[in-house]
Amino acid sequence: MTETTNSLGTQKISKLLIKQAIPASIGILVMSLNMIVDTIFVGQWIGSMAIAAITVVLPIVFLISSIGMGIGIGGSSIISRAFGAKDINKAYLTFGNQISLTLVLSIFFVSVGILFYKPLLLLFGANGAILDPATAYFNVVLYGVPFLAFAMMGNPVIRAEGKPKFAMYAMILPAISNILLDVIFIKFLNLGMFGAGLATSISYAVCGLFIFSFFLSKKSELIIKPSYFLLKLAIVKEIIQLGGVTVARQGTISVLMIVLNATLFTYGGENAIAVYGIINRVMMFALFPVLGVTQGFLPIAGYNYGAKNSERVKEVIKKAILYGSMVATLIFLAIITFPEAIARLFTSDVALIEETPKALLYVFLATPVITAQLIGSAYFQAAGKALPALVLTLLKQGIFLIPLVYLLPKFFGLNGVWFSFPIADVLATLVTMIFLRIEVRKHLK
């Protein structure tokens, strides 16, 4: 094991957290900028229905690729704890099993998506004028999903090795390629939604191939070796238990999108779905530092938990929540100050510009408190405690947000959808803090 990995258990927590979080934040920032620019391009060059189409398609794409993400996060938790316990063979075996599971499962589910694309799109809200552009986009993007799944598997593993900069590069490269290809395919070649989908699919391939090349290089402590590809039941079971948390979360988000898109269409038509498409992109961009802190937190907590160093685990929990909450408050202040300017970035459609600022304000009301919920659920995943990790991960989207999105519009109309988000954030944070406080008192003495 190299000095880089060992530093997770020895370096000062504040320095280590910043060192891990900044590259993760930059990677998420660039990826989010990519999503925003992509949405701006299709909104300005194709039209508002193109924004709605992407809003419908991406939850399906991310649901399929979340298999890779789940395997990556579940496996990286095992790898971090194995490194902390000096069990190098288990780390290697886990990585090999991750590769096998990701490739087989992602290709299978992509095949299902190709065969049943129309029912899937209709289920996720491709109603009315949204169906045709959604179909054109979906049928191209699907072919890049196995690469995306491999990238989502590999990225947390790279962080588990203590090499956050390479994980950052893996997120920056596809973002740059997607933006450049968008300009070529949409603006200059006038390929419309097909061009947007082609640019996205190629960018997924760039990301997957870059991560594959990293693991083939001498920079990686883990190696791609066929003898480790043979699935071991105990390893697979542990990966599925922990990775299932991520897949369940993405599955819950997908169910949420079905309910959300149907509700938005009922109370506001295609334009309401487009408004949420803008909000969703802003959400991804605005929260990048908080998500970066969470990603940086995971390998540190996992390594020190595996090394049975409770004091360092408690310290990284406290500092991650503190740093993330400070950043989240600044984000909230920026959004409530410039809501209309944000809306105008994405569209010149008068109806969208009128509705989006108000919706943005409502959705982001509870932003200052969300870090505690993210770090709390991430801790249980890092510690290998699948059940509480699953419960806490599903709190916001599944247990609170889906029922609220269904019920509140019956009383408040379209505004009820927007009110649902901050209420779910506050409730999920309160429950998570109770879980985390009990865990620290009982098991981190």
Burial of 312 (0-12, 13-18, 19+ CB in 10 A): buried
Q: What are the structure tokens assigned to 161, written together?
A: 């090795």
Split at pLDDT 50, 70, 90, the class of 40 is: confident
Split at pLDDT 50, 70, 90, the class of 429 is: very high
Sign of CA pseudo-dihedral 303, 306, 307, 310: positive
Judged by DSSP in three states, 232 sits in coil
pLDDT > 70? residue 445? no
What is the percent of the chain with per-residue pLDDT over 70, rounded to a whole number?
96
> In the chain, what is the straight-line distance between the N-terminal and C-terminal CA atoms, in Å?
28
Spans of all domains in the chain: 12-443
pLDDT > 70? residue 4? no
HEC per residue, 133-151: HHHHHHHHHHHHHHHHHHH
431 near 392, Cβ under 8 Å?
A: yes
pLDDT at 407: 94
In angstroms, rounded to a whole number, what is the distance separating the alpha carbons of residues 382 and 127?
40
Which of residues 347 and 368 earns the better pLDDT score? 368
Sign of CA pseudo-dihedral 16, 18, 21, 26: negative
Residue appearing with tokens 């090394």: 307
In angstroms, rounded to a whole number, what is the distance separating the alpha carbons of residues 424 and 338?
24
pTM reported for the whole predicted model: 0.70
Amino acid 347 reads: T
- Residue-averaged pLDDT of the chain: 85
Helix intervals (H) in 307-413: 310-337, 339-346, 350-363, 370-382, 386-394, 402-407, 409-412
Q: In this predicted model, what pLDDT tens digit does every residue of 135-189 receive, in sequence order?
A: 999 999 999 989 988 998 988 888 778 787 888 888 888 888 988 999 999 989 9
